[in-house]
Amino acid sequence: MKNYSVAPNRDASVWIVKLEDVAPVEEYAAKDEAIAKAEEMAKNDNPSKLSILDKYHHVVEERTY
């Protein structure tokens, strides 16, 4: 199962989509845009899990595809 995550950078100026918590795959200015792209990537690579993190990098939501 692949693990995708969406989290803000340190100053929350961009939202980062990562695969397997390695190097960033994409960066987005808006949280909703980052979540939509990560969701699309996860759905196309199922089975997979998407974790959405807050500014403290705590998981606030998890979705499985």
Three-state SS annotation for 14-62: CEEEEECCCCEEEEECCHHHHHHHHHHHHHCCCCEEEEEECCCCCEEEE
pTM score, two decimals?
A: 0.88
> Tokens at residue 50, please?
């998407």
| Residue 6 Cα distances to 43, 58, angstroms | 15, 11
pLDDT computed for residue 11 by the predictor: 87
At 5-64, the pLDDT tens digits run 999 998 889 999 999 978 788 999 999 999 999 999 999 998 999 999 999 999 999 999
C-beta separation of 2 from 21 below 8 A:
no
